[in-house]
Structure 1
Amino acid sequence: MRDVTERIEIEVSQGVAAELRYLLELLTDEQYGPALTSVEDLGRYVMTAIADGSRRPGSWERQMLSSLGLVSERDEHHVYRPDYGPPESESEEGGG
């Protein structure tokens, strides 16, 4: 899969936006952790963690998804996938 970006716009309440900005302010003095300088950076970091947890059952990110109730009971959601997005079906891989 080619690594390209896609713009996704998300609206949140003013309270949530204020808390996210405050969180960034709190993190500015932290020596370790991700370098987050904007709400967009924070959103990108969190959404990447969610996507990684969705495809990597044994990861710390999956624990976060589980805590949020975002893990499907479907068998396919409990199998490691090296790439983002749904796995290619065997019929597509076999050419038909």
Structure 2
Amino acid sequence: MQINPLVLRELEYIVMLHREYGAPVKVDSVGELINYILACVADGSCRPGAWERGMLMQMGLIADCAQHAQYRAAYGQPMVEPRR
């Protein structure tokens, strides 16, 4: 994965501000920041009632289907139950 150099500069700036001034969610590296952001995206995807869902909706990342409106306790595509 490659990050646009201008975007990377901004992410590095965020990390610098966190180190210097602190923040509610403290990150010490761009990797930690990206991991936190992606975890928020994943949480918003599988939990329709989560605060993160609003972020995904504003970004246009919620698919227009019933499956994306269902709560899932685990990340990833739900396992299909075998028929009995």
In the other structure, the counterpart of 1:42 is 33
| TM-score of the pair, normalised by structure 2 | 0.90
In the other structure, the counterpart of 1:22 is 13
Percent sequence identity is 36
Superposition deviation, residue 13 in structure 1: 1.5
Given the alignment of the two structures, is residue 88 of structure 1 paired with residue 79 of structure 2, yes or no?
A: yes
Superposition deviation, residue 90 in structure 1: 2.7
Of Structure 1 and Structure 2, the greater helix share is in 2
Where 1:90 maps in the other structure, the secondary structure is coil
In the other structure, the counterpart of 1:64 is 55
Cα distance in 2 between the residues matched to 1:67 and 1:74 = 17
Cα distance in 1 between the residues matched to 2:4 and 2:80 = 39
Superposition deviation, residue 87 in structure 1: 0.8
Superposition deviation, residue 27 in structure 1: 1.9
User: Structure 1 segments of 4 or more deviating over 4 A?
Assistant: none
Contiguous gaps of at least 5 residues in structure 2: none
Amino acid paired to 1:24:
V
In the other structure, the counterpart of 1:52 is 43
Contiguous gaps of at least 5 residues in structure 1: 1-9
Where 2:67 maps in the other structure, the secondary structure is helix
Cα distance in 2 between the residues matched to 1:36 and 1:26 = 10
Where 2:35 maps in the other structure, the secondary structure is helix
| TM-score of the pair, normalised by structure 1 | 0.80
Q: Between Structure 1 and Structure 2, how many residues are aligned?
A: 83
